[in-house]
Structure 1
Amino acid sequence: MYRYSLRKRVAIAFAICVAVLSVVWGFAFFSAIKLSEDRVLVNQLQRAAESYPFLAMNLRGYDEVGSLPESLREWAQTNPDEGLYEFDAEELHVAVVPAENGQRHAFVVFDVAGIEAASSEDWWWLLVITGVVGALGALGFGLGLLVMRRAVAPVMQLAKVVAEIDPEKLSADDIKLIQSSRFGDDEVGVLARTIEKTLERISAFVERERYFTGSASHELRTPITVIMGALELLEQSDLSATDAKVVDRVRRATFEMKATIEMFLCLAREADDGLHDEQFSVMPLVSQAIDQHRHLLNGKFVDVEIDLIDAAVDDLSKPIACGHSQAFSIAVNNLVRNAFQHTHAGQGPITIHIKEHVLFVTNQVSSEANERHTSTEASSPQGYGLGLGIVQRLCERNGWSFSLHADEARVAARLSW
């Protein structure tokens, strides 16, 4: 349980990090200043000890230019302004002091020979300081990561829990993984509770969907089965030619209704009992679709040509597709029915090309169809036949590919697996 919100924790973590680094840098600068002072005093005292009992005078005053050290006389004759000057080559520091009563300036000379560090020693000190600065920077970076990680730990914990949930196999147990009560009342807690409620709604929806599809599968198929049984009994009785045609129309309408119910139930199911890995032969399903919808060509004088292209496709047992056989049958039925319905009299033939992994259904179109359909090619067609969007969804769920191409002369549907 966290007492503060995520925003306050981040602000507090940043303040703590800055405060700690400021204190560390303050101690580092203070130590450097004290070290420099001690070093100057030690060097000066060591130089005095070396000249004992005659103590060297490092600091001297001069009233006249002529009394200055020879290396400074030429410079002093230029009457320099008041201030401090440094001469590296001579290792001298000079202070120009204004004299009273309009006299010439006086000079205070500080001989730093033996007190200041040599150039080589300065480089070593530079390396040491660089190392210290780098170490402090690394310390600050590590401290910042540690503090910020602790500040955003609830977010990382929630993200890890959400990542473990599989949206494709959502169950009631996945909701228990969130446990929003662990995240308090801050922003992360609000997000956790929202995700938990969303998962509960999705889980309830999936459960209702499973119950509906299970019930609908029985309730919708039962009357269809009863109707088909009654039609079989009627077909066995003595019927007039007119009555036989009516019964045949009812039988076809019932069959189409059954196919439609199976199609929508197949799309509505969240899972298909592991049938997505089923292997089945394509040719029998294509022949069945042609036979079931051949009545749509009555009176049109249109031929149906089946072309087995590849050498590997030489018998009815090939080609072999992998997926849900019922979904494949529904897709093929939609393509064949669309081709039969949209082919007008004398606009044949309808060709069905079957390769090892591809099925083409091609039909000719009339001028009226050309006016309704412009040339198009898309992976998700929706304009040519009501069932094509359903075919696209079935293909997506089974890992197949579907496309449609329509031009002025023909319409070609392509289904690959």
Structure 2
Amino acid sequence: MQSRRKLRFRLIVSFALFGFGLSALFAVAALNIRAKVEDQLVTASLQDEVDNLNAQVLADRTQIPHFNIVKAWTWSDRTIYKAPLNWQQLATGVHDITETDANGQTKRYKLAVRRQGGVINFLRYDVSRDELGKQQLLISVIAAVFLFGLLSLVLGMWLSRKVLKPVSDLANRLRDYRKAGKAEPLAPHFADDEVGELAHVLDEYSARLTAMVERDREFNSDVSHELRTPLAVIASTTELLQGSPDLTEKISERLKRIERASRQATELIEALLLLSRAERRGPTRGETTEVGKVAADVIESQRPQMRGKPLTIELSVNEPVSVNAPASVLSVALTNLIGNAIKYTLEGNVRVEVGAGRIEVIDTGPGIKPEDAERLFQRGVRGEGAGGSGAGLGLAIVRRLCELYGWDVSMRPRSDANGAIASIKFS
């Protein structure tokens, strides 16, 4: 394993260097821009002034030349009327003056005034070029801001990719392991930093998860073997006993109940094993399961619960419905729905209807509240008339089986009478 500095330290150093470098570049750029603009202004001003002086000398060598950038005038209290009108009342100090020259161009000046001893002095400095310099400086600074903003974006993207590369590598390795279906140690591929520590923790978690899955797989295999064997013995023994010629009708009926209970237990074990493995398995050899036939078998197996009750049960197959699922899975789901309808209905009838891609179990029991319909499919939740029997797991198992095969199971109260309707809509 490589030894590197901590990821947090690298982030701090990277952003500190980034900020320092960006600030230094901006400072250098600002100084260069200021020097360049100032040099351009001084050069242009001196060139204009010397061209003006040269033109004056060539026009009349006897006249004293005057300057355009800086000019001075002196008047007394008696001759102040010769000064421009807007200057005559100015007090001692420096004033900002805006005027329009003979060419119609707007000029800005700084005018210094000194009144003392009856003498009034005026010194005018042309600041128009300074305003132009400020505009150039502003444009240059804005351009520099955008340039360095773009540079910071590029550097930030590069630094983030560089600093966070170990995290991306960890995510990619996890993604590759998921595709490969096997987990390999992650920690040896990363440095001794925060990412390496995370990889080490993920390795530990993966080891615990793998061990748990292995134990679960072994448990399912053991349960499947250990429970199926005695159930097979019970089924075969019951079948042999039913072939005896000296059986009384009462004993024969009890053997049939044992046979039905054994078959139901086998189907329940198979369905629970499918749920524990989250494995969706269809019938063998591409066959389909007839819903009406399974419903008829379930109804016959549930008739003993109706003894002593003024209750009837009927099956109505409006149109054949077939599903691509084992008969054991459908039998477990229907056993819970039909068994609940029989258990909660004290008198009346239970009607099972098959058709239109669904099966519905309609009873005349006490019914359910609309707000409790979805809650009944949660683990440990029982109906109000359940009394002390049951653990509230039947409908939860039905929901999980239906989710495994993409079916939609629901319950709702009847709108025409007392009772409830449980339905499974097949995909």
Structure 2 Cα separation of the partners of residues 224 and 110 of structure 1: 114
**Equivalent position to 2:166, from 154, 160, 178:** 154
Comparing 40-49 with 356-365, greater Cα deviation is found at 40-49
**Equivalent position to 1:59, from 70, 81, 91:** 70
> Which residue of structure 1 lines up, in the alignment, with residue 421 of structure 2?
412
- Change over 3 Å in CA distance of 1:69–1:255 after alignment to 2: farther
Structure 1 Cα separation of the partners of residues 214 and 396 of structure 2: 26
Structure 2 Cα separation of the partners of residues 402 and 61 of structure 1: 101
Alpha-carbon deviations, 1:19-43, whole Å to 9, x = none?
2221221122112111122112221
Contact in 2 for aligned 1:98/1:105 (Cα 8 Å): yes
> Which residue of structure 2 lines up, in the alignment, with residue 12 of structure 1?
13
Aligned residue type for 2:41: V
Aligned residue type for 2:155: L
> Which residue of structure 2 lines up, in the alignment, with residue 133 of structure 1?
145
Q: Please tell me whether residue 290 in structure 1 is matched to residue 322 in structure 2.
A: no
Contact in 2 for aligned 1:84/1:96 (Cα 8 Å): yes
**Equivalent position to 2:242, from 235, 245, 249:** 235
Contact in 2 for aligned 1:281/1:319 (Cα 8 Å): yes
SS at 1:271's partner residue?
coil
Contact in 2 for aligned 1:94/1:107 (Cα 8 Å): no
Structure 2 Cα separation of the partners of residues 220 and 279 of structure 1: 27
> Which residue of structure 2 lines up, in the alignment, with residue 74 of structure 1?
85
Structure 2 Cα separation of the partners of residues 146 and 20 of structure 1: 15
> Which residue of structure 1 lines up, in the alignment, with residue 374 of structure 2?
378
Structure 1 Cα separation of the partners of residues 96 and 142 of structure 2: 29
- TM-score, normalised by the number of residues in structure 1: 0.80
SS at 1:217's partner residue?
helix
Alpha-carbon deviations, 1:290-313, whole Å to 9, x = none?
22223333454533322234xxx2
Please report how far the alpha carbon of residue 392 of structure 1 lies from its aligned counterpart in structure 2 after TM superposition.
Answer: 0.8
Alpha-carbon deviations, 1:142-178, whole Å to 9, x = none?
2222222322222233333444554xx894x2x22x6
Aligned residue type for 1:378: E
Contact in 2 for aligned 1:380/1:403 (Cα 8 Å): no
Structure 2 Cα separation of the partners of residues 337 and 194 of structure 1: 48
Alpha-carbon deviations, 1:233-262, whole Å to 9, x = none?
222222345544544444444344334323
Please report how far the alpha carbon of residue 212 of structure 1 lies from its aligned counterpart in structure 2 after TM superposition.
Answer: 1.6
Alpha-carbon deviations, 1:335-367, whole Å to 9, x = none?
2222233333xx2321111122211011222xx
Matched pairs, number: 394
Contact in 2 for aligned 1:379/1:402 (Cα 8 Å): no
SS at 2:294's partner residue?
helix
**Equivalent position to 1:212, from 208, 219, 230:** 219
Structure 2 Cα separation of the partners of residues 287 and 280 of structure 1: 13
Contiguous gaps of at least 5 residues in structure 2: 58-64, 102-106, 384-391
Q: CA RMSD of the aligned region, Å? A: 3.6
Alpha-carbon deviations, 1:33-73, whole Å to 9, x = none?
11122112221332244246447533344443689999964
Aligned residue type for 2:344: H
Contact in 1 for aligned 2:33/2:137 (Cα 8 Å): no
Q: Please tell me whether residue 401 in structure 1 is matched to residue 408 in structure 2.
A: yes
- Change over 3 Å in CA distance of 1:206–1:65 after alignment to 2: farther
Contact in 2 for aligned 1:5/1:187 (Cα 8 Å): yes
Structure 2 Cα separation of the partners of residues 157 and 71 of structure 1: 85
Please report how far the alpha carbon of residue 220 of structure 1 lies from its aligned counterpart in structure 2 after TM superposition.
Answer: 0.7
Structure 2 Cα separation of the partners of residues 17 and 200 of structure 1: 41
Q: Please tell me whether residue 108 in structure 1 is matched to residue 123 in structure 2.
A: yes
Aligned residue type for 1:96: A
Structure 2 Cα separation of the partners of residues 338 and 279 of structure 1: 26
SS at 2:348's partner residue?
coil
- Change over 3 Å in CA distance of 1:379–1:35 after alignment to 2: same
> Which residue of structure 2 lines up, in the alignment, with residue 45 of structure 1?
46
Please report how far the alpha carbon of residue 403 of structure 1 lies from its aligned counterpart in structure 2 after TM superposition.
Answer: 1.2
> Which residue of structure 1 lines up, in the alignment, with residue 348 of structure 2?
348
SS at 2:75's partner residue?
coil
Aligned residue type for 2:47: Q
Please report how far the alpha carbon of residue 222 of structure 1 lies from its aligned counterpart in structure 2 after TM superposition.
Answer: 0.4
- Change over 3 Å in CA distance of 1:83–1:223 after alignment to 2: same
Contact in 2 for aligned 1:278/1:324 (Cα 8 Å): no
> Which residue of structure 2 lines up, in the alignment, with residue 308 of structure 1?
317
Contact in 1 for aligned 2:315/2:353 (Cα 8 Å): yes
Structure 1 Cα separation of the partners of residues 369 and 123 of structure 2: 101
Structure 2 Cα separation of the partners of residues 48 and 397 of structure 1: 93
Contact in 1 for aligned 2:281/2:326 (Cα 8 Å): no
Structure 2 Cα separation of the partners of residues 299 and 94 of structure 1: 116
> Which residue of structure 1 lines up, in the alignment, with residue 272 of structure 2?
264
Please report how far the alpha carbon of residue 215 of structure 1 lies from its aligned counterpart in structure 2 after TM superposition.
Answer: 2.1
Structure 2 Cα separation of the partners of residues 293 and 56 of structure 1: 123
> Which residue of structure 2 lines up, in the alignment, with residue 96 of structure 1?
112
Please report how far the alpha carbon of residue 3 of structure 1 lies from its aligned counterpart in structure 2 after TM superposition.
Answer: 2.6
Comparing 399-408 with 356-365, greater Cα deviation is found at 399-408
Structure 2 Cα separation of the partners of residues 305 and 296 of structure 1: 15
SS at 2:324's partner residue?
strand
Contact in 1 for aligned 2:321/2:358 (Cα 8 Å): no
Aligned residue type for 1:7: R
